[in-house]
Structure 1
């Protein structure tokens, strides 16, 4: 795949500006076009168990203010010399983003997040999570402080599942334009580890099986790395980690100074799209660098 069209939904907040700054940098590196999209929120007021919406004049004022703010953000894209489009669409935010992305063949959506104190709100039922669950397009979530990180060192959480392979494909596309290094990380359960000190016979047998499992997984990982990337082997490294998957991925990311983490939203457990898988959820909560998620 190629990154030709990047969509940035905006609510004009500081977090949305971070996402836009990141997207501008990425668009320059990928020679992509940018789409800036705003969905205005018309407040509804409750009075005596009845709901009231603002009148036509108030709605017009909201739309005019939105257009002014959108024009200001669009100017920053224009100043960067990037071809762009700006639109205001009314409706439910995550549905508007989904439909716009499909209509314009968007390759990547870039959104911002709140800081750690606001992540729990973001994670459980917020607009961002609904966007992640609804939009079929790969999404990069930019945390505070992550907007100035070029994706030149990419860590891919890889469990051999379809979503993980799709995350690797997007990583390959970005790497092809940006360059840098790639790290393919697989986390597995060390089922034989607890038996290695259970006496000579059991311990020796367990150690053999433990090593066989590690070697088998390493062979599978290297084979998939070659198949998925078909690039100079020196530019991609494979990592096997045991224990908590999210912690292992984050440890590797910290060790190699990753500037982008890629993962599937769900893995081999078969969790439906109605949910975000536990590993992706942990990464979304704890990653201090931009996180790319795919279905």
Structure 2
């Protein structure tokens, strides 16, 4: 992992994401790509293709450039390679196209908190980026003073399709020398015996070189509550999940599950594409 993309609207939530990216960059010699998507009012769209952009567009662009420069001069970004870009494009499409073009390894996006994350995860830019991005996406709520996750929960059904993204999860875990808690949530609607759950996880882990991990079976009324309660019980620093992409967020990040996690988990989430 060498390139981190931080989409920014210059808000406090974007600052939280940028500060986290700065910590990762300083400790690992990564470069940060700081991207601002300038979504101009629809009535001005036609002017972009004209010979002379109207003054309002030029004003928006100039203001964005000034704010971007001030952002780059923040103390916590000293000695970090920053590549900044301002694009006239809708946010989701612009973020995804930039990530693909520049071969981004990790996207970090912030949120305002419980209500803010609910709003952006469900049906808005962040949810769309999470669903469609080929690069892992990390979503955080609050400013993190020192990001060094040593206790990571990976909640999954450990099916065959999880094996490919799991390599990326292992790479991420090894960078922090973290313990990986492989967790299967059993509910009344997805009940498995302890013997069967253990067999599924043991068969899954045999194919990987995992140095520091533990398997867990956690029973709860539904999957999202199980993830929340288990993560809180073991004081996890980070929750990792997988998404199917085109079909929406798989098993652990669909419908009410994503809403509950967004509303009640203050921990950072990292989502990998299946």
Shorter-chain-normalised TM-score: which range? 0.7 to 0.9
SS in 1 for 2:6: strand
2:244 is aligned with 1:293: no
TM-score by length of 1: 0.79
Alignment-derived partner of residue 3 in structure 2? 5
Instruction: Provide the rounded CA distance (Å) in 2 between the counterparts of 1:53 and 1:125.
Output: 29
2:237 is aligned with 1:262: no
CA gap of 1:35–1:52, structure 2 versus 1, over 3 A, is closer
2:206 is aligned with 1:237: no
Equivalent of residue 203 in structure 2, options 220, 223, 239 = 223
SS in 2 for 1:6: strand
Greater CA drift, 94-103 or 134-143? 134-143
Instruction: Provide the rounded CA distance (Å) in 2 between the counterparts of 1:163 and 1:76.
Output: 42
| Residue-by-residue CA offset, 1:134-187 (whole Å, 9 max, x unaligned) | 322110001124464322221101112466445533331122211121111111
The alignment of Structure 1 onto Structure 2 pairs a total of residues equal to 265
Alignment-derived partner of residue 124 in structure 1? 122
Aligned CA-pair RMSD: 3.0
Instruction: Provide the rounded CA distance (Å) in 1 between the counterparts of 2:190 and 2:163.
Output: 27
Alignment of 1:1-295 (within 5 A): 3-44=1-42, 56-76=54-74, 79-146=77-144, 148-161=146-159, 164-189=162-187, 213-228=193-208, 230-232=209-211, 235-243=212-220, 244-266=222-244, 272-273=247-248, 277-278=254-255, 279-295=257-273
CA gap of 1:126–1:75, structure 2 versus 1, over 3 A, is same
Instruction: Provide the rounded CA distance (Å) in 2 between the counterparts of 1:281 and 1:120.
Output: 6
SS in 1 for 2:207: helix
Instruction: Provide the rounded CA distance (Å) in 2 between the counterparts of 1:149 and 1:239.
Output: 24
Instruction: Provide the rounded CA distance (Å) in 2 between the counterparts of 1:117 and 1:287.
Output: 11
Contact 1:163 1:264 in 2 (8 A): no
CA gap of 1:128–1:231, structure 2 versus 1, over 3 A, is closer
SS in 2 for 1:273: coil
CA gap of 1:23–1:79, structure 2 versus 1, over 3 A, is closer
Flag structure 2 segments of 5+ consecutive residues without an equivalent: none
SS in 1 for 2:73: helix
